[in-house]
């Protein structure tokens, strides 16, 4: 009789810390997931970039990067694209000769999105 009660007590004592540990892990995992959601930087959105291109760039650079304007680089051949993203973004913000600047028209995120789309053309 006594030995069976002792057995029960021993079992109870052994199980509680495990349950507490599992709960602690669940909370820790939840907190980690929350941190990821809050801290994760915005990603480039290639589909948004395509929309922006259609709206603002296609007029001169043509559908899919085949230029309509003779002076515009041919993105299908990779013209003008052989530079780092931040240089492309700068060129888009500042404009270049016949090309207007998009500073104040497109947000930084939209410029990044459209650069990401340009990368799909070549
Ligand atoms: C009014 C016509 C026009 C529009 C609209 C236009 N561009 Fe251009 N773009 C040009 C021309 C012309 C050039 C070539 C400039 C030069 O090198 O003289 C150019 C060059 C570029 C270059 C190459 C820059 C470099 O450093 O050589 C990129 C990238 C570019 N355009 C992206 C865009 C994007 C993205 C948009 C839309 C947000 C856009 N352009 C809208 C005419 C245009």
CA distance 62 to 53: 9
- Answer yes or no: is pLDDT of 122 > 90: yes
pLDDT digits (tens, 9 = 90+) for 37-65: 666 666 899 999 999 999 999 999 999 99
Query: Which of 96, 102, 118 should be mutated for ligand 1, with most atoms under 8 A from CB?
Result: 96
pLDDT digits (tens, 9 = 90+) for 50-107: 999 999 999 999 999 999 999 999 999 999 999 999 999 999 999 999 999 999 999 9
46 touches 116 (CB < 8 A):
yes
CA distance between the termini of the chain: 81
CA distance 100 to 33: 42
Listed by start position, the domains of the chain span: 1-40, 46-118
The Å distance, Cα 105 to ligand 1 centre, comes to 15
CA distance 20 to 22: 5
**Cβ–ligand 1 contact at 67 (below 6 Å):** no
49 contacts: CB under 8 Å, gap ≥ 6: 110, 113, 114, 115, 116, 117, 118
**Would you call 117 helix, strand, or coil by DSSP?**
helix
Q: Report the CATH architecture of 46-118.
A: Orthogonal Bundle (1.10)
Please classify residue 118 by burial: count the beta carbons closer than 10 Å to its beta carbon, then call 0-12 exposed, 13-18 middle and 19+ buried: buried
The Å distance, Cα 61 to ligand 1 centre, comes to 7
């Amino acid at each position: 009789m006594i030995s069976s009660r002792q057995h029960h007590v021993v079992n109870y004592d052994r199980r509680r810390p495990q349950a507490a540990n599992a709960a602690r892990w669940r909370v820790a995992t939840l907190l980690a997931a929350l941190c990821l959601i809050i801290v994760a930087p915005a990603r480039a959105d290639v589909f948004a970039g395509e929309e922006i291109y259609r709206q603002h760039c296609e007029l001169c650079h043509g559908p899919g990067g085949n230029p309509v304007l003779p002076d515009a680089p041919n993105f299908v051949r990779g013209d003008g694209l052989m530079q780092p993203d931040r240089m492309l973004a700068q060129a888009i913000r500042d404009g270049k000769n016949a090309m207007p600047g998009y500073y104040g028209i497109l947000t930084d995120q939209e410029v990044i999105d459209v650069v990401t789309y340009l990368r799909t053309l070549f």
